[in-house]
Amino acid sequence: MKGKFPQGFMWGGATAANQVEGAYDQDGKGLSIVDAIPGGKERLKIVSSPEFDFTLDPANHTYPNHKGIDHYHRFQEDIALFAEMGFKCYRFSIAWTRIYPNGVEQEPNEAGLKHYDQVIDACIAQGIEPVITISHYEMPLHLASEFGGWKNRELIGHFERFARTVLTRFGHKVKYWMTFNEINSAAHFPIMSQGLTVKTGALEAQAKFQAWHNQFVASSLAVKIAHETNAQIQIGCMILFATHYAYDCNPVNQLETLKETQAFNFYCADVQAGGKYPYYAKSLWQSQGVELDIQPGDLELIKQHTVDYIGFSYYMSSTINKTNPDAVSAQGNLLGGARNPFLEASDWGWEIDPVGLRIALNQLYDRYEKPLFIVENGLGAVDKPDENHFIADDYRISYLRQHIEAMAEAIEDGVDLMGYTPWGCIDLVSMSTGEMSKRYGLIYVDLDDKISGTGNRYRKKSFHWYQKVIETNGEDIG
């Protein structure tokens, strides 16, 4: 394999509180938006309906996130398995509603803080560096239903209080943080990252761009608090990156690809890492009829408190087509576009493109020259255990191997890459479908889509493979 990983490279894995913890109503936790989003393949279609308003309907829907994989009670066992794999770091998130149940309380819930003290201490005891996402698709339901989500500027103050609480409490023992998970994903599903439904602006550019601005201000405040709390803290942004290709060499498609790349892959990172709105922002706003409410001091705050590194997820690329009506649509690809004839796709239609990851790493580092951290990457697939609960997931090993090879090549290109935390190091409830059957983990969890089963954990073939990858610092990828 070309290239070598640097000493101290942060190999690990990633999860999110709302997808693994369960215990949705225990120890003072309030309802989050995901607690009110049904599970199943129709999940994103349901929340995109004009009628959807976060009303729980257990008679007609299931809510698998309520139970998750019970990581809330089993984190010691799970972290021990991560340590067995050799993890150098574990990326997880803090459930906002465990700390401030409705988001508006003035005093935090001590039971929630104690829980994360225990999780952090369990990681440190195993020699695992915690990497914490402050907000990962789980804003308090009250802030979405009563305030209309992030388009409402009042959320800045509520988030600042939350961020200050967790950074003050844990900042002396946790070095690596991120502010908002996949902040740019609101371009396609704003309900998760901004709490917007159709009724409150999910289809309106004005609402989404104002929500982004409010999040940029809130993110900058979190960066400011982090650096004031502990000068050793490294705090990053986190974006969803999908390398964009033009369908063909038609200049129309080439230009559209440039604009899509700017608007989706770079807009949010340009502000959070670059400290200002990019040159193309005004044109982008005008094209969509957006007029931002920017308050005095906002732009100065954004300029002064930029992130230390760029965390990003990478699952697929996207092919942009404006001129070929006969092109086959990339059905299932989370970001749409045309089907790329040079790529294979996962069981769910997500196109597999490891070369696209090398391109992404080079594009991001070329643009920002800040350290990069791949904090999500993985293959969602149907795993079929044998009679001994063993899963020979060679398809997942192949996916991860190809992407690790691309990472090594990008490092050889000169990219400063901090670490790699594959998504769903343990099976969890899928964000896009609300299913357990869409599995990403290196550890199998015996639960079905209705969260029925023993919940027992079993090591997949990929578990042992990744263990060797970490042990050899990427020298032996099989």
pLDDT for the residue numbered 326: 87
pLDDT for the residue numbered 329: 86
Q: Is residue 394 part of a domain?
A: yes
First to last CA, the chain: 10
Q: How many angstroms separate the CA atoms of 170 and 113, rounded?
A: 9
Q: How many domains does the chain have?
A: 1
Range of the domain at 246: 10-472
Q: Tell me the CB-side half-sphere exposure of residue 416, using CA atoms within 13 A.
A: 10
Instruction: Catalogue the active-site residues.
Output: 376
Residue pLDDT, tens place only, 241-278: 999 999 999 999 999 999 999 999 999 999 999 999 99
At which residue do the structure tokens 């070329």 appear? 366
Instruction: Return the minimum-mean-pLDDT range out of 144-158, 290-304, 314-328, 365-379.
Output: 314-328
Residues contacting 343, CB < 8 A, separation 6+: 317, 351, 352, 353
Band of the pLDDT at 333, cuts 50, 70, 90?
low
C-beta of residue 81 within 8 angstroms of C-beta of residue 122:
no
pLDDT for the residue numbered 438: 94
Would the pTM of this model clear 0.85, i.e. be above it? yes
Q: Is residue 445 part of a domain?
A: yes
pLDDT for the residue numbered 3: 54
Can you read off the two tokens belonging to residue 29?
A: 């936790």
pLDDT mean over 55-68: 95
Residues contacting 140, CB < 8 A, separation 6+: 30, 31, 32, 33, 96, 97, 100, 101, 102, 103, 104
DSSP tally for the chain: helices H, then strands E = 16, 14
Q: How many angstroms separate the CA atoms of 370 and 5, rounded?
A: 17
Spell out a b/e string for 246-276, using b for 16 or more CB atoms within 10 Å of the CB, else e.
bbeeeeebeebbeebbbbbbbbbbbbbbbbe
The stretches of 93-188 forming alpha helices (DSSP H) are: 96-99, 110-125, 141-145, 154-170
Tell me the C-alpha to C-alpha distance, in Å, between residue 428 and each of 20, 434, 440. Answer: 6, 9, 8
pLDDT for the residue numbered 115: 98
Q: How many angstroms separate the CA atoms of 219 and 214, rounded?
A: 9
Spell out a b/e string for 376-402, using b for 16 or more CB atoms within 10 Å of the CB, else e.
bbbbbbebeeeeeeebebebbbebbbb
At which residue do the structure tokens 């086959």 appear? 328
Q: Is residue 4 part of a domain?
A: no
Band of the pLDDT at 128, cuts 50, 70, 90?
very high
Percent of residues, the chain, with pLDDT higher than 90 = 93
Has residue 1 got a pLDDT over 70? no
Can you read off the two tokens belonging to residue 92?
A: 């997880």
Sign of CA dihedral 384, 387, 436, 397: negative
Residue pLDDT, tens place only, 155-210: 999 999 999 999 999 999 999 999 999 999 999 999 999 999 999 999 999 999 99
Residue pLDDT, tens place only, 222-241: 999 999 999 999 999 999 99
Q: Is residue 36 part of a domain?
A: yes
Q: Is residue 477 part of a domain?
A: no
Band of the pLDDT at 39, cuts 50, 70, 90?
very high
Picking from 102, 84, 98, 106, the residue whose alpha carbon sits closest to that of residue 134 is 98
CATH number at residue 180: 3.20.20.80
Helix (H, G, I), strand (E, B) or coil at 49: coil
Residue 476: CB atoms within 10 Å: 12
pLDDT for the residue numbered 172: 97
Tell me the C-alpha to C-alpha distance, in Å, between residue 401 and each of 230, 334, 347, 398. Answer: 36, 22, 18, 5
Q: Is residue 3 part of a domain?
A: no
pLDDT mean over 8-30: 98
Residue pLDDT, tens place only, 394-435: 999 999 999 999 999 999 999 999 999 999 999 999 998 999
Has residue 332 got a pLDDT over 80? no
Decide: residue 296, CB within 10 A, 0-12 exposed, 13-18 middle, 19+ buried: exposed
Question: What is the signed CA dihedral for 163, 169, 170, 171, rounded to 10 degrees?
Answer: 70
Residue pLDDT, tens place only, 440-473: 999 999 999 999 999 999 999 999 999 999 999 9
